[in-house]
């Protein structure tokens, strides 16, 4: 509250640049000054700054001369009377503190600014029933030139307007319904309004005034007291509007005495609060319109683009708003990207998800991701069957390492995915994103309430009850035994027979057993688990598939653990209410996220 305003480029007054004997002549024109006052004046001029620190200056001069403080007070007081200098006060813990010495041109805009600012701070600190009105300064014999003060219309009396539009170190003036001309400064505006509020509250502490005011409003004393103790702009606007109305209606026939300056404070508050209320409404409407515009852009992306789009495409869609927002367009665009495509809370997905340098709507994300997983799985299966066939036919003369160990197989899969699909490559490095997308899709988008189903879908990609990815060979359904059988099936019938006779078939078969781990879903019913186990056992002895044409490979037709059909039924002991289902969902999601944090 007591912060000194930021000083813009300020040049020293003309008398500061004079030689010492010329400054002596300047002082003589103003009146009588003591030798110490003259020496202090020269020191101020030689050490001139836009704001000279009072304490530091006094400490420095005290080492050279005595009685610095009273002499300095006298010097600045004389210069102040002529409009050339003044002390600057700040509020520190609601106390007025003498902080700076300022030298100015005679009655220039800086002088007017600091005079008005000091008056506001002094009135607030000492709770004086005064306002920085033109009449107040005239009574003190100090006239502030109108050309140095910026006039404002009442509807411009807004904190934001004053801070953004008024040049630094300038005071402004506003007419209060033609009753008075009030001066104020941007950085003292809030202090002035709080002072006006205190003046009204202090007046209403008089029980006679409070009773008369309640009678005029047709309300109770308790209701008025409640409004006066509130911080609500609407309640206070009602109070001060009624107080102004009381002044205008009753005129000279008031039953109680209320100082005229209190009515001026009420008018000041009424104008400021009315502007604040209207500005709040305007901003709210603007925010709603902006939100609607942002939502419309997201819906357009959702409806027209089932696949990720580039930043250039999104900018082209957003450009339809350029005319509407004008100079603010780039700022609004940045706000859109910040609010609608930035993941601030992993559990709260934005409408547009930025991944692999592109944008994809969250409602499209899961479907697109599944399609990419399926496509890449087929492609990888084809590539690995071809590679396996080469290894079997040549005895691995090329020295391929993909099939040497499960870890090398995983590394090879990851490298191939990074080349095949940047989207999946990044998604595989962001497990929580996929988990949150699955939770969002099943719970919020599809409205599903079966937690077991959510677990089964998550276990398609993650270890049970975690956000840790399964091995890539499991995610992409790359069972090494099946890949071997398919590649083996491409070999000629006589070579296959020879491999059976020589035992090479069994050697390779035993070598690839266990390459791809089997993980039984904890969310599957007991019967389903046993069926999965049986399927896993049978998969090791499936007959070789028919040979594919040279250079091509068949698409995998089965998975070791298939995702359960969407309509699979699980018998329950009783039906749970929507509230109970919601609670279970939330508890499971919370536990899952907590597990993810612990595993980091």
Residues 6+ apart with CB under 8 A from 105: 13, 14, 84, 111
pLDDT of residue 540: 31
Could you tell me the pLDDT band of residue 534, with boundaries at 50, 70 and 90? very low
| Mean predicted lDDT score pLDDT of the chain | 85
206-210, 478-482, 525-529: range with lowest mean pLDDT: 525-529
pLDDT digit string, tens, across residues 95-128: 889 999 999 999 999 999 999 999 999 999 999 9
Helix (H, G, I), strand (E, B) or coil at 465: coil
Per-residue pLDDT band at 530 (split at 50, 70, 90): very low
| Domain closes at, from 244, 271, 298 | 271
Q: Which of these, 370, 388, 390, lies nearest to 380 by C-alpha position?
A: 388
Phi/psi of residue 277, nearest 5 degrees = -65, -45
- Residue 78, domain member (yes or no): yes
Bridge-based pairing state of the strands 172-175 and 150-151: parallel
pLDDT interval class at 545 (50, 70, 90): very low
181 in any annotated domain? yes
Q: What percent of the chain has pLDDT over 90?
A: 70
- Taking only the tens place, the pLDDT of each residue in 311-355 is 999 999 999 999 999 999 999 999 999 999 999 887 889 999 999
Domain end point (choices 254, 271, 288) = 271
Identify whether 150 is part of a domain. Answer: yes
Cα 524 to chain center, whole Å? Answer: 42
Domain check: are 228 and 254 in the same one?
yes
pLDDT reading at 33 higher than 90: yes
CA–CA gap between residue 84 and residue 161 (Å, rounded):
29
Nearest to 236 by CA among 206, 204, 258, 259: 204
Is residue 223 assigned to a domain? Answer: yes
| Same domain as 144, residue 246 | yes
Model confidence at 589, pLDDT cuts 50, 70, 90, reads low
**Coil, helix or strand at residue 360:** strand
How far apart (Å, rounded) are the C-alpha atoms in residues 346 and 363?
16
Q: Beta partners for 102? A: 86
- The secondary structure of residue 476, as a DSSP letter, is T
- Domain residues for the domain of 94 are 10-106
pLDDT score recorded for residue 594: 65
Statement to judge: residues 94 and 160 lie in one domain: no
Is residue 472 very low, low, confident or very high in pLDDT (cuts 50, 70, 90)? very high
266: pLDDT confidence band, cut at 50, 70 and 90? very high
Indicate whether 193 and 247 sit together in one domain: yes
* pLDDT for residue 498: 92
Query: For residue range 491-507, what is the model confidence (pLDDT) as tens digits?
Result: 999 989 999 999 989 98
pLDDT band at 143 (very low <50, low <70, confident <90, very high): confident
- The pLDDT, as a whole number, for residue 330 is 95
DSSP characters over 212-264: HHHHHHTS-HHHHHHHHH---HHHHHHHHHHHHHHHHHHGGG-SS---HHHHH
Same domain, 36 and 19: yes
Region of poorest pLDDT, from 15-29, 132-146, 529-543: 529-543
221: in domain: yes
User: Half-sphere exposure of 362 toward its Cβ, with a 13 Å CA cutoff?
Assistant: 27
If one counts the domains in the chain, the total is 2
Same domain, 144 and 181: yes
Mean pLDDT of 418-427: 96
CA-CA distance, 215 to 211, in Å (whole number)? 6
Q: Are residues 124 and 225 in the same domain?
A: yes
Under a CB-based contact definition with an 8 Å cutoff, are residues 101 and 44 in contact? yes
Contact partners, residue 161, CB within 8 Å, separation at least 6:
none
Distances (CA, A) of 105 to 43, 112, 252, 459: 17, 11, 44, 78
Shared-domain flag, residues 162 and 39? no
98 lies in the same domain as 212: no
Q: Residue 320: CB partners within 8 Å, gap ≥ 6? A: none
d(CA 472, CA 469): 8
Nearest to 585 by CA among 457, 436, 443: 443
- Shared domain check, 82 and 55: yes
**pLDDT tops 70 at residue 547:** no
Which has the closest alpha carbon to 544: 388, 398, 433?
A: 388
The predicted pLDDT at position 162 comes to: 93
The pLDDT value recorded for residue 3 is 44
Q: How far apart are CA 318 and CA 333, in angstroms?
A: 8
149 within a domain of the structure (yes/no): yes
* Residue 45 sits in the same domain as residue 151: no
End-to-end Cα distance, the chain: 44
Task: Please give the DSSP secondary-structure letter assigned to residue 454.
Answer: H
pLDDT of residue 452: 83
Locus of tokens 């999104």: 314
- Cα-based angle 582, 584, 589 (whole degrees, multiple of 5): 95
Q: Are the CB atoms for 359 and 353 separated by under 8 Å?
A: yes
Residues 67 and 152 grouped into a single domain: no
For 67-72, the CB contacts below 8 A with 24+ separation are 67/36, 68/36, 68/40, 71/34, 71/36, 71/37, 71/40, 72/40, 72/101
Identify whether the C-beta of residue 258 lies closer than 8 Å to the C-beta of residue 170. no
Backbone angles phi and psi of 92, in degrees to 5: -130, 115
Band of pLDDT at residue 374, cut at 50, 70 and 90: very high
pLDDT greater than 60 at residue 487: yes
Distant-in-sequence, close-in-space partners of 98: CB < 8 Å, separation ≥ 6: 54, 87, 88, 89
**Pairing label, strands 181-184, 352-355:** unpaired
**Residue 308 pLDDT level (bands cut at 50, 70, 90):** very high
Residue 471 lies in a domain: no
For 7, 143, 159, 187, 392, the CA distances from 3, given in Å and listed in that order, are: 12, 26, 16, 8, 81
Backbone angles phi, psi at 322, to 5 degrees: -65, -45
Say which DSSP state 443 is in: I
Beta partners for 184? 172
In a domain, 85, yes or no: yes
Longest CA span, the chain? 126
Taking residues 383-388, what's their average pLDDT? 94
pLDDT tens, residue by residue, 47-78: 999 999 999 999 999 988 889 999 999 999 99
> pLDDT exceeding 70 applies to what percent of the chain?
84
Q: How do strand 95-103 and strand 150-151 relate by DSSP bridges?
A: unpaired
Q: For residue range 72-90, what is the model confidence (pLDDT) as tens digits? A: 999 999 999 999 999 999 8
DSSP character string of 484-540: HHHHHHTS-HHHHHHHHHHTHHHHHHHHHTTSS-----TTS-HHHHHHHHHHHHHHT
- Residues 148, 109 contacting (CB under 8 angstroms): yes
227 vs 232: CA distance, rounded Å: 8
pLDDT tier for residue 592 given thresholds of 50, 70 and 90: low
Residue 216's pLDDT is: 94
- pLDDT 10s digits, 165-181: 999 999 999 999 888 99
pLDDT band at residue 444 using 50, 70 and 90 as cut-offs: confident
Residue 208 has pLDDT above 80, yes or no: yes
Domain containing residue 66: CATH number: 1.10.10
For the cut 70, the answer to whether the pLDDT of residue 436 exceeds it is yes
Q: Single out the residue in 243, 271, 299 at which a domain terminates.
A: 271
- Which residue in 280, 438, 422 sits closest to 346, CA to CA? 438
């Amino acid at each position: 509250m007591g912060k000194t305003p930021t000083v813009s480029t300020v040049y020293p007054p003309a008398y500061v640049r004079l030689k010492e004997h010329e400054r002596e002549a300047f002082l003589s024109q103003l009146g009588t000054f003591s030798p110490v006052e003259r020496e202090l004046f020269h020191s101020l001029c030689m050490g001139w700054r836009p704001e000279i620190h009072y304490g530091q200056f006094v400490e420095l001069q005290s080492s050279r001369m005595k009685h610095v403080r009273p002499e300095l007070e006298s010097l600045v007081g004389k210069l102040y009377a002529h409009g050339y200098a003044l002390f600057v006060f700040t509020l520190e813990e609601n106390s007025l503190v003498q902080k700076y010495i300022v030298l100015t041109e005679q009655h220039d805009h800086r002088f007017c600014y600091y005079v008005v600012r000091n008056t506001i701070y002094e009135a607030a600190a000492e709770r004086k029933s005064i306002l920085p009105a033109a009449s107040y300064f005239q009574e003190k014999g100090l006239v502030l030139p109108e050309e140095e003060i910026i006039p404002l219309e009442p509807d411009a009396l807004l904190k934001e307007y004053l801070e953004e539009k008024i040049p630094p170190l300038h005071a402004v003036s506003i007419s209060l319904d033609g009753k008075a001309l009030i001066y104020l400064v941007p950085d003292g505006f809030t202090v002035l309004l709080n002072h006006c509020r205190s003046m009204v509250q202090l007046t209403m502490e008089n029980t006679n005034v409070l009773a008369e005011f309640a009678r005029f409003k047709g309300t109770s004393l308790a209701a008025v007291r409640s409004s006066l103790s509130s911080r609500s702009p609407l309640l206070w606007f009602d109070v001060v509007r009624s107080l102004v109305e009381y002044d205008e209606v009753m005129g000279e026939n008031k039953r109680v005495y209320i100082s005229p300056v209190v009515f001026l404070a009420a008018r000041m508050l009424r104008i400021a609060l009315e502007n604040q209320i209207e500005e709040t409404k305007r901003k709210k409407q603007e925010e709603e319109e902006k939100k609607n515009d942002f939502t419309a852009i997201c819906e357009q992306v959702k409806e027209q683009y089932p696949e990720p789009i580039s930043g250039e495409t999104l900018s082209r869609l957003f450009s339809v708003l350029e005319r509407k927002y004008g100079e603010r367009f780039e700022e609004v665009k940045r706000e859109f990207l910040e609010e609608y495509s930035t993941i601030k809370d992993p559990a709260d997905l934005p409408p547009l998800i930025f991944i692999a340098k592109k944008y994809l709507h969250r409602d499209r994300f899961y479907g697109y991701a599944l399609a990419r997983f399926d496509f890449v799985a087929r492609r990888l299966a084809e590539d690995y069957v071809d590679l396996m066939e080469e290894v079997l036919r040549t005895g691995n003369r090329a020295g391929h390492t993909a099939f040497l160990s499960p870890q090398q197989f995983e590394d090879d899969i990851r490298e191939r995915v990074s080349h095949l699909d940047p989207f999946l490559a990044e998604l595989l490095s962001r497990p929580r994103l996929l988990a949150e997308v699955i939770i969002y899709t099943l719970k919020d988008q599809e409205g599903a309430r079966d937690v077991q189903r959510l677990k089964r879908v998550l276990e398609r990609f993650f270890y049970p009850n975690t956000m840790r990815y399964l091995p890539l060979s499991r995610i992409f359904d790359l069972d090494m035994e099946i890949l071997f059988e398919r590649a083996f099936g491409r070999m000629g019938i006589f070579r296959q027979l020879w491999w059976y006779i020589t035992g090479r078939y069994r050697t390779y078969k035993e070598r690839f057993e266990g390459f791809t781990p089997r993980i039984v879903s904890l969310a599957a019913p007991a019967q389903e688990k046993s069926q999965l186990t049986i399927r896993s056992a049978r998969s090791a002895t499936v007959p070789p598939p028919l040979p594919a044409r040279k250079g091509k490979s068949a698409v995998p037709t089965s998975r070791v653990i298939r995702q359960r059909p969407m309509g699979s039924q699980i018998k329950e002991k009783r039906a749970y209410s929507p509230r109970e289902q919601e609670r279970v969902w939330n508890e499971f999601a919370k536990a899952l996220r907590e597990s993810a944090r612990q595993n980091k």
